Structure 1
Amino acid sequence: MAVPRSKTSKAVTKRRQTINMKLTAPQLVECNNCGNLVQSHHVCPKCGFYRGRQVITPETKG
């Protein structure tokens, strides 16, 4: 059975762990109705359409 020769330092451990913690930006697609950039598989907050159908009525700021 393999046994490490010496203790792995905290810096080396944290450096190895942070490689897998990188955040990725969400994929944005153009809304078919208004052209607004929205996340895939989400309702457009600007016009309220999802897959060509009116799902919600967007609230107007007044």
Structure 2
Amino acid sequence: KRRANWKMSAPNLVRCSKCGELMMPHRVCKACGSYNKREIIAQD
């Protein structure tokens, strides 16, 4: 009976404000390396 509450939910995705790529909220964008409109990881 408790297994009825075991369900998968789709991940919440937002668009990156710099490049527009889908990403998890409150994380560094994997495509451009930015977070909160600042470059965190330098891209080559």
Gaps of 5+ in 1: 1-15
2:12 matched to which residue of 1? Answer: 27
Q: Where is the helix percentage greater, Structure 1 or Structure 2?
A: 1
TM-score relative to the length of structure 2: 0.85
**TM-score w.r.t. structure 1 length?**
0.63
Moved over 6 A (4+): none
RMSD: 1.4
The structure with higher relative contact order (CA 8 Å, sep 6+) is: 2
Q: Note the alpha carbon deviations across 1:4-32, whole angstroms, 9 max, x for none.
A: xxxxxxxxxxxx12211101111000000
**What is the aligned length?**
44
